[in-house]
Amino acid sequence: MPTQPTVSFTDERLANGLRLIISVDRLAPVVAVNLWYDVGSKHEVEGKTGFAHLFEHVMFQGSRNVAKAEHMALVQAAGGTLNGSTWLDRTNYYETLPSHQAELALWLEADRMGTLLDALSQENLDNQREVVKNEKRWSYDNRPYGSWYEKLQGHLYPPEHPYHHVTIGSMADLDAASIEDVSAFFRTWYAPNNAVLTVVGDVDSDAIRRWTEQYFGGIPANPSIPELGDLSLPAILGEERRETVHDKVPLPRVYVGFRAPRFGDDRLDALDIAAQILAGGKGSRLHRRLVRDERIAQDIALVPLGFVGGASIVAGWATVRPGVAIERVETALHEELERLGREPITDDELARARALIETEELGGLSRVEERADRLSMYATLFDDPDLINRMLPRYLAVTADDIQRVASEVFRADNRVVLTYLPELPPADTVAATEDSITPIDVADAPQAPDDEEVAA
Amino acid sequence: MTDGAVQVVATRPTPGTPRPYDFPEVERTRLANGLSLVVANLPGRPLVSATLVLGNGAGDEPDGDAGATVLAARAVTEGTERFDAIALVEASERLGAAIHADAGWDAMSIGVDVPATRLEPALELLAEVALHPTFPTAEVDRLRDERLNDLLQAEADPRRRADEAYSATIYTAGSPYRRPSGGTKESVERLDPARLRTAYQRGLDPARTTLIVGGDLAGIDLAAITERLFGAWGSSFGAGSTGLVVAEGAVRERFVRVLHRPGSVQTEIRIGHIGLPRRIPDFHALSVMGAILGGLFNSRLNTKLREEKGYTYGAGAGFDLRRAAGPFAARAAVNTEVTVPAIVDILAELDRIRDEPVTDTELKSARDFLVGVFPLRFETPGPVVGALAGLVIHDLPDDELARYRPAIEAVTVDAVQQAARSHIRPDAAAIVLVGDADAFGSDLEAAGFGRLVIERDAGPQDEGRDEGVQEALGPLDEGSGGPTEGGEEPEPEPTTG
């Protein structure tokens, strides 16, 4: 059995609360600088959805000593790559550079953490608002089946829960975002004591400490970062929720979504292994039955999405082959998921899943960028960066019983959302199609070449 | 809104001393049967990457068999003389490995990523797949049907539709690049095990095959393993692959082709013409020019369309360099209302990169990016093996990667402009759009970009002023298809900047 190299690191705090994690690795002449802020779309309030992400874009529009888009220019001209991303629980910013350029990334991150508002202008906000609206169109609104994830998340979390809305937000809320909103958001959340800075790679720890103190040390903490409150939810949804969506797609598709244990709960580890056994590649149960043996699906997927507040999501889908009744695909999907809760998996299935996860972990941890992101993640979400070394052992400790137990808890009819995407009917027939029911459709009778596709916005 | 309590440092840091970097040492040997072995030992990289590169790509397959090579690559893991598909996938999963076989325009590759401790049994499976595939009828039928369904799905996806329509527009009917590498509905329907076997055997020649392995190979006698697994491979069916690809441009003057997609909230824009093959003398100047025009975040196109105008989430341009001339395209997805102004801006940038020298800052930024990012790209074995495969596929010299950084450093302002003037032709560019023509059709007509064809459900409607369009565009009802890899799935993930 291959052994995973241990990631060694130091973990300390500046006086202003900034958490600094350093992990030296001399293998390649590269460095990853990674900054997680403990703020995500779950911190948004009604009427201001999409704000954390819009704000992330504004973070590239300049600060006191950096011009608009100059952050990108400086990092790329230094031979680096960079990006930022926003998700329900957090926002991150990251640069990967030749190691002799580490100081540049620290200086850039400090300048915007301290002085973003110096450069904030209505013009830049308006510009990035349009960019983000085009991102929403590109990623969701102008894609076949593009609305599924928003619908799934909306069904799985109640309207008053901060996970009810998706990170990209709504067009109306993006339109309403004001410069005062941006300022207030910055002052509330973008403080050193709400962030974790991780540096991984070919660096001298003392130099990183010195630069971090020099650049970030003068940024004051925010002593009153709001508490989010109780996000807990019933473990299961309590009912089956169904929705039928008519979209101009050539093939019907069934999506399923379930509430799952929170990220960090070891039952979610077991569910990760379960997802591997069900849908991880061509040896998996769903692929074998639906795609290979019965040939009723074009493709299948099942993905756990871990969140720390209340409940995670397991989402999956199967695209229905032409001429196949959708119910048959949906039934087979449910049967395979529920079978996992009734019958133990075989020793061989478990061994194969473990071997694949081992390879995946080895691959993920081989890059400084990924290692830095995971250290920041485990520190931000669990106050425990050493989880980076304990996740693989946790996965390898999952037993057949653990998998059967979590599958029986999660894959139940009263804990699921079912979305059915159907090709749009010709106008004369649309009357017959009822919402909230599964309408069996033989694709041979539906429009085959949807040159006139409309999107469900 | 300066906050006086905040102390940051105004002085920008200066870079430290770069640690010397060289592309990893590579050892090249050859078996008696002609098979090449290329090995990069990368200490500290226990996840090994191995790829067998075969000489048959989709670019030189006969028209009637279009898609056979891509489908054959998918089928080699569906059954061999020793294993059926399930036995094969289970055997590789027990090793923590997934064997993946793919064909593109220029070559086929069969690869595996696996911990070094399990490399030998993984290579045994790889050899079994490469040398003894059986192309079972039932599995080939299924894969063919999946490809046909994928072609249906591609029609609904504006991005794939735009890419496919663009290729079909810029190449002549005799050019394979005109169609998707995975074939069209008409050609895929004809595919069967015999055609796949023929397509596969075009590449089965040890003298035109290379095994590339990268990773921490301490204590592993790769030469002996390779000899044991591939040494007896002597048969040579490979005469059917010519390596010659016809790539002719169909665009003589600028025109606009619109695929109408009612209600579309964005327009997918592709502007350009056929580009270049990989083996060209001015490759490095072309790379720098491409970065400035449409590669860097602060490229001219992205700066104009995204950071100044807010028309798009991202705009770019690039050359797809293949064995023969692949496409050059500027691309963006813009909100429907700004379709015409976005085209104006893109065309203006295509003119400007030809007409004006780039600034010294632009030149330096692009060169420094390409030189600096080089070691980042090769941090792990997978990309190292991929780059070495590129040398094999394009018949490039062994020192091509070692030469890369000095060659980029040497690119001048003049060389950039020369590359732009030689290889970018805005006056003879096709403008291909997938979007709601009802929303922008009349503006498009008024803008006078060139002849205009709008294709609606009822088939193509020539809204231009002269009759030469059909000849320039080629048949408009030719089937379209999708990328080899099938439809991309919108897996939920964090929203990135």
Q: Please indicate whether, in this complex, the C-beta atoms of A219 and B376 are within 8 angstroms of each other.
A: no
Model ipTM value: 0.91
Whether pLDDT at B196 is above 80: yes
**Confidence bin at B244 (pLDDT 50/70/90):** confident
State the pLDDT at residue B338. 98
In Å, how far from its chain's centre is CA A384?
20
Give the chain A residue nearest B87 (alpha carbons).
A283
State the pLDDT at residue B246. 83
Share of chain B above pLDDT 70, in %: 89
State the pLDDT at residue B296. 96
Q: What is the residue whose two structure tokens read 């970062």?
A: A225
- A27 and B CB contact within 8 Å: yes
Give the chain A residue nearest B160 (alpha carbons).
A143
**Confidence bin at A425 (pLDDT 50/70/90):** low
Q: Please indicate whether, in this complex, the C-beta atoms of A28 and B334 are within 8 angstroms of each other.
A: no
Share of chain B above pLDDT 90, in %: 85
Give the chain A residue nearest B382 (alpha carbons).
A363
**Spatial distance between the Cα atoms of B37 and B127, rounded to a whole number of angstroms:** 14
φ/ψ of A77, rounded to 5, equals -70, -20
- B18 and A CB contact within 8 Å: yes
Q: Please indicate whether, in this complex, the C-beta atoms of A218 and B303 are within 8 angstroms of each other.
A: no
State the pLDDT at residue B243. 66
Per the CB < 8 A criterion, the answer to whether A449 and A249 are in contact is no
- A-proximal residues of B, 41-60, CB under 8 Å: 44-47
User: Can you tell me the mean pLDDT for A432-444?
Assistant: 30
**Spatial distance between the Cα atoms of B167 and B325, rounded to a whole number of angstroms:** 12
Three-class SS of residue A196? strand
> Which of B483, B330, B329, B159 shows the shortest CA–CA distance to A137?
B159
Task: Tell me the chain B residues in contact with residue A453 when contact means C-beta distances shorter than 8 Å.
Answer: 156, 158, 261-264
- A-proximal residues of B, 87-126, CB under 8 Å: 89-90, 93-98, 113-118
Minimum distance, in Å, between the CA of residue B239 and any CA atom of chain A: 33
Task: Tell me the chain A residues in contact with residue B495 when contact means C-beta distances shorter than 8 Å.
Answer: 53, 56, 85-87, 135, 139, 167-168
Q: CA geometry: angle at B493 spanning A132 and A334, to 5°?
A: 130
Q: Which two tokens stand for residue A172?
A: 């109306």
Task: Tell me the chain B residues in contact with residue A372 when contact means C-beta distances shorter than 8 Å.
Answer: none
State the pLDDT at residue B157. 96
Beta bridge partners of B322: B277
Whether pLDDT at B460 is above 70: no
State the pLDDT at residue A442. 27
Per the CB < 8 A criterion, the answer to whether B41 and B163 are in contact is no
User: Can you tell me the mean pLDDT for A294-318?
Assistant: 97
- A-proximal residues of B, 304-363, CB under 8 Å: 306-313, 333-335
State the pLDDT at residue B247. 86
State the pLDDT at residue B239. 55
Nearest by CB: B372 against A59, A80, A283: A80
Give the chain B residue nearest A91 (alpha carbons).
B494
**Confidence bin at B237 (pLDDT 50/70/90):** low
Buried b or exposed e, range B168-183, using 16+ CB within 10 angstroms: bbbbeeebbbbbbbbb
Per the CB < 8 A criterion, the answer to whether B351 and B134 are in contact is no
pLDDT, one tens digit per residue, over B148-176 is 999 999 999 999 999 999 999 999 998 99
Half-sphere exposure of B92 (CA within 13 A, CB side): 28
Q: Which of A433-442, B162-171, B412-421, B462-471 has the lowest mean pLDDT?
A: A433-442
Minimum distance, in Å, between the CA of residue B85 and any CA atom of chain A: 9
pLDDT, one tens digit per residue, over A401-418 is 999 999 999 999 999 999
State the pLDDT at residue B238. 52
- B128 and A CB contact within 8 Å: no
Residue of B265, B336, B358, B480 to mutate when probing chain A, most A C-beta within 10 A:
B265
Q: Please indicate whether, in this complex, the C-beta atoms of A144 and B153 are within 8 angstroms of each other.
A: yes
Share of chain A above pLDDT 70, in %: 92
- A-proximal residues of B, 274-303, CB under 8 Å: 296-298, 303
- Give chain B's mean pLDDT: 90
Whether pLDDT at A358 is above 60: yes
Beta bridge partners of B212: B38, B51
User: Can you tell me the mean pLDDT for B214-222?
Assistant: 97
User: Can you tell me the mean pLDDT for B52-81?
Assistant: 95
**Confidence bin at B459 (pLDDT 50/70/90):** very low
**Spatial distance between the Cα atoms of A455 and A413, rounded to a whole number of angstroms:** 30
**Spatial distance between the Cα atoms of A80 and B365, rounded to a whole number of angstroms:** 11
Q: Please indicate whether, in this complex, the C-beta atoms of B490 and A145 are within 8 angstroms of each other.
A: yes
Whether pLDDT at A3 is above 90: no
Q: What is the residue whose two structure tokens read 């630069």?
A: A211
- A122 and B CB contact within 8 Å: no
Share of chain A above pLDDT 90, in %: 90
> Which of A89, A411, A106, A56 shows the shortest CA–CA distance to A228?
A89
**Confidence bin at B469 (pLDDT 50/70/90):** very low
**Confidence bin at B472 (pLDDT 50/70/90):** very low
Whether pLDDT at A429 is above 80: no
Residues 6+ apart with CB under 8 A from A232: A309, A310
Give the chain B residue nearest A361 (alpha carbons).
B47
Give the torsion through C-alpha atoms of B219, B224, B228, B231, to 10 deg: 150
Task: Tell me the chain B residues in contact with residue A133 when contact means C-beta distances shorter than 8 Å.
Answer: 335
Q: Is B319 exposed, middle or buried (0-12, 13-18, 19+ CB in 10 A)?
A: buried
Q: Which two tokens stand for residue B495?
A: 């929203």
Q: Which two tokens stand for residue A343?
A: 């019958």
> Which of A120, A116, A139, A138 shows the shortest CA–CA distance to A128?
A120
**Spatial distance between the Cα atoms of B196 and B68, rounded to a whole number of angstroms:** 5
Buried b or exposed e, range B200-232, using 16+ CB within 10 angstroms: bbbbbbbebbbbbbbbbbeebebeebbbebbee
**H or E element: which one contains A94?**
strand A91-98
Per the CB < 8 A criterion, the answer to whether B324 and B245 are in contact is yes
Whether pLDDT at A33 is above 50: yes
**Confidence bin at B234 (pLDDT 50/70/90):** confident
CB pairs under 8 A between A and B: 319
Whether pLDDT at B448 is above 60: yes
Per the CB < 8 A criterion, the answer to whether B358 and B417 are in contact is yes
φ/ψ of B38, rounded to 5, equals -120, 120
Q: Please indicate whether, in this complex, the C-beta atoms of B375 and A104 are within 8 angstroms of each other.
A: no
Residue of A81, A91, A134 to mutate when probing chain B, most B C-beta within 10 A:
A134
Q: A77 to each of A19, A74, B203, B297, B308, how far by Cα in Å?
A: 28, 5, 42, 11, 20
Give the chain B residue nearest A348 (alpha carbons).
B94
The DSSP secondary-structure symbol of B332 reads E
Give the chain B residue nearest A79 (alpha carbons).
B372
**Spatial distance between the Cα atoms of B182 and B147, rounded to a whole number of angstroms:** 8
- B377 and A CB contact within 8 Å: no
Minimum distance, in Å, between the CA of residue A140 and any CA atom of chain B: 8
State the pLDDT at residue B473. 31
User: Can you tell me the mean pLDDT for B419-431?
Assistant: 98
Q: A189 to each of A16, A380, A400, B183, B211, how far by Cα in Å?
A: 14, 13, 42, 52, 52
Whether pLDDT at B391 is above 60: yes
State the pLDDT at residue B5. 84
Per the CB < 8 A criterion, the answer to whether B112 and B122 are in contact is yes
